[in-house]
């Protein structure tokens, strides 16, 4: 078993983000045969943006803990300024507004040759200590799985009974550490370009059903006149999207929070957005956004889609997606495919995606651990 110690990484230390990205690439290539990672630029901006949550990154480094090292805000030594060999990483988020009982978005990765050496277990032990220090009682960890390869393995289902995951190495790790599967998400992929006739027919049929509404589109940050409406749409996403068995509180969105999100995205790419407005009042009834990373123009991903409850039943979701996809293809003809993620129980959105041509590509698991219950 290799000797190792854990340190806290910061995006201000360039080699740290590069090491995280390198390990994410290796993991993605091993699991899916392709690089599905966000760019170093996006990783840096994401880890640096703490307007609504603290962002944490721990790294397992070879060797003993150095003497007289500076301690970080999570109680661990800070990563050295010079590069070191990284055996594994864990990234995580501590919400500061809502969901202050959670440490969420936990992603654990251990380099292939160093697995089964208690590195992942050590990182989870540190997260338990961080949870106690920050008065959090719930860990929410995510795992990714190859859908095709996993179909031959035994399956585990979430507490809601919707969907299942293969009991592979990642699922076995979660189960061994007393996590319960709380939700299954599907990653679906749409290969581009779409048949323009199909997209036109799809859009026309949806528009015919959406009487009393009009669409507005833009690139980049949200225009001032739509900030309040987009905030309401983002609140609806947080409140209405299926969360399975996850202990989740809706997020409070206002114009400032929309600006903060827009600023983070704008630093590393461009959002392509379309909203549905009530024709007579201008009230925002629905929203969809696709994000395109700088330098990764060939693989955009679906960011958010929502129709507010009072405006459902008019095929606005179908219309929004069709129009925004058409705009994406005009402005980013180099895009080869677009990926989207949906809760397995979100049957309505999955039906729209399937009709557009999306097909399941991979699956993810949301694993929850209640620390008080776990003792």
pLDDT digits (tens, 9 = 90+) for 99-138: 999 999 999 999 888 898 899 999 999 999 999 999 999 9
The CA-based angle 166-171-173, given to 5 degrees, is 155
Is 303:274 a contact under the CB 8 Å cutoff? no
Of 3.40.50.10470, 3.40.50.150, 3.40.630.30, 3.40.109.10, the CATH number of 193-335 is 3.40.630.30
Query: Smallest Cα–Cα separation from 370: which of 179, 186, 221, 96?
Result: 179
- pLDDT reported for residue 372: 79
Q: State residue 58's pLDDT score.
A: 98
| Cα 85 to Cα 374: distance, rounded to the nearest angstrom | 33
**pLDDT < 70 positions in the chain:** 1, 373-375
Cβ density class 324-339: b for 16+ within 10 Å, e for less: bbbbbbeebeebeebb
Where, residue-wise, is CATH 3.40.630.30 in the chain?
A: 4-185+365-374, 193-335
CB 290 within 8 A of CB 358: no
Strand partners, 181: 367
Query: Which DSSP category does 162 fall into?
Result: -
Torsion of CA 60, 63, 64, 67, to 10 degrees: -100
Per the structure block, which two tokens stand in for 278?
């009530």
Supply angle C-alpha 121, 162, 318, rounded to 5.
Answer: 115
pLDDT of residue 160: 85
pTM comes to: 0.94
Centre a 10 Å sphere on the Cβ of residue 368 and count the other Cβ atoms it contains. 23
| Cα(169)–Cα(109) distance, integer angstroms | 12
Fold of the 4-185+365-374 domain: Aminopeptidase (3.40.630)
**What tokens does 329 get?**
């293809």
Structure tokens at 95: 């919400």
**Which own/partner contact pairs does 198-205 have at CB distance under 8 Å and 24+ positions apart?**
198/357, 199/322, 199/325, 199/326, 202/318, 202/322, 202/355, 202/356, 203/319, 203/322, 203/323, 203/326, 205/315, 205/318
| DSSP structural state of residue 370 | E
Instruction: Let me know: does 103 contact 367? Beta carbons within 8 Å.
Output: no
The first and second tokens of residue 166, run together, are: 């293969």
Beta bridge partners of 7: 59
Contact present, 315 and 346 (Cβ < 8 Å): no
Distance CA 257, CA 11 (A): 22
pLDDT on residue 1: 66
Backbone angles phi, psi at 307, to 5 degrees: -120, 125
Cα separation, 165 vs 151, whole angstroms = 8
What are the residues whose beta carbons fall under 8 Å from the beta carbon of 87, sequence distance 6 or more? 2, 4, 60, 61, 62, 110, 111, 114, 117, 119
Rg (CA), the chain: 21
3-state secondary structure (DSSP) of residue 350: helix
β-partners of residue 305 are 288
DSSP per position, 33-93: SS--PPPHHHHHHHHH--SSEEEEEEEEEESSPPTTPPB-TTSSBBPPSS---EEEEEEEE
- How many beta carbons lie within 10 A of that of residue 102, not counting itself? 24
**Contact by Cβ (8 Å): 143, 364:** yes
């Amino acid at each position: 078993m290799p000797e190792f110690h854990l340190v806290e990484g910061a995006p201000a230390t360039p080699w740290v983000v590069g090491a995280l990205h390198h390990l994410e690439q290796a993991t993605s290539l091993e699991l899916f045969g392709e690089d599905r990672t966000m760019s170093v630029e996006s990783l840096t901006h994401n880890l640096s943006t703490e307007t609504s949550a603290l962002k944490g990154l721990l790294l397992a480094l070879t060797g003993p803990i150095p003497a007289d090292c500076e301690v970080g805000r999570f109680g661990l030594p800070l990563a050295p300024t010079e590069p070191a060999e990284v055996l594994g990483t864990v990234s995580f988020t501590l919400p500061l507004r809502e969901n202050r009982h959670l440490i969420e978005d936990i992603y654990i990765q251990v380099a292939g040759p160093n697995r089964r050496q208690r590195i992942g277990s050590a990182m989870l032990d540190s997260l338990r200590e961080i949870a106690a220090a920050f008065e959090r009682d719930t860990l929410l960890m995510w795992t990714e799985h190859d859908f095709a390869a996993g179909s031959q393995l035994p399956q585990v289902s979430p507490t809601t009974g919707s969907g299942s995951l293969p009991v592979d190495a990642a699922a076995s790790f979660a189960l061994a550490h007393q996590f319960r599967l709380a939700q299954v998400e599907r990653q679906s992929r749409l290969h581009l370009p779409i048949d323009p006739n199909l997209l036109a027919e799809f859009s026309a049929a949806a528009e015919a059903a959406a009487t009393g509404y009009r669409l507005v589109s833009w690139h980049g940050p949200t225009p001032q006149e739509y900030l309040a409406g987009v905030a309401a749409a983002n609140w609806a996403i947080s409140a209405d999207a299926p969360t399975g068995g996850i202990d989740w509180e809706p997020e409070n969105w206002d114009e400032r929070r929309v600006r903060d999100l827009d600023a983070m995205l704008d630093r590393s790419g461009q959002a392509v957005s379309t909203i549905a407005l009530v024709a007579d009042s201008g009230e925002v009834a629905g929203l969809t956004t696709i994000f395109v990373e700088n330098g990764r123009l060939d693989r955009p991903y679906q960011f958010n889609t929502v129709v507010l409850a009072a405006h459902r039943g008019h095929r606005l979701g179908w219309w929004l997606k069709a129009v925004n996809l058409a705009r994406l293809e005009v402005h980013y003809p180099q895009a080869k495919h677009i990926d989207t993620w949906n809760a397995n129980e979100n049957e309505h959105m999955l039906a729209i995606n399937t009709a557009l041509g999306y097909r399941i590509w991979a699956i993810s698991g949301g694993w929850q651990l209640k620390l008080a219950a776990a003792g």
